[in-house]
Amino acid sequence: MRERARMLFDMCAVFENNFDKLTRVLSQDHGRTIGEAIGSVRRVIENIESACTALLNRNREASSWMDRS
């Protein structure tokens, strides 16, 4: 689980580091306005962060459940 979370955090960093490129691609290739493209990339980053949090919380819950057993 930790490895998966690390991969998601790394993917999030890639999106953050390439934010401008991604917004340009969405705007140029998909006809979105810059504002729409910025919002889309932001939502993707937020979704990745949510997945990371959910995965880490799930791992903690499983860990605490095993400690109680």
pLDDT in tens, 19-67: 999 999 999 999 999 999 999 999 999 999 998 888 888 766 655 555 5
pTM over 0.85: no
> Using only C-alpha atoms, what is the Rg of the chain?
16
Sign of the alpha-carbon torsion through 9, 39, 34, 26 = positive
Give the residue carrying structure tokens 């962060």.
Answer: 49
For residue 58, the Cα-to-chain-centroid distance in whole angstroms is 16
- For residue 13, the enclosing domain spans 2-68
What is the number of domains present in the chain? 1
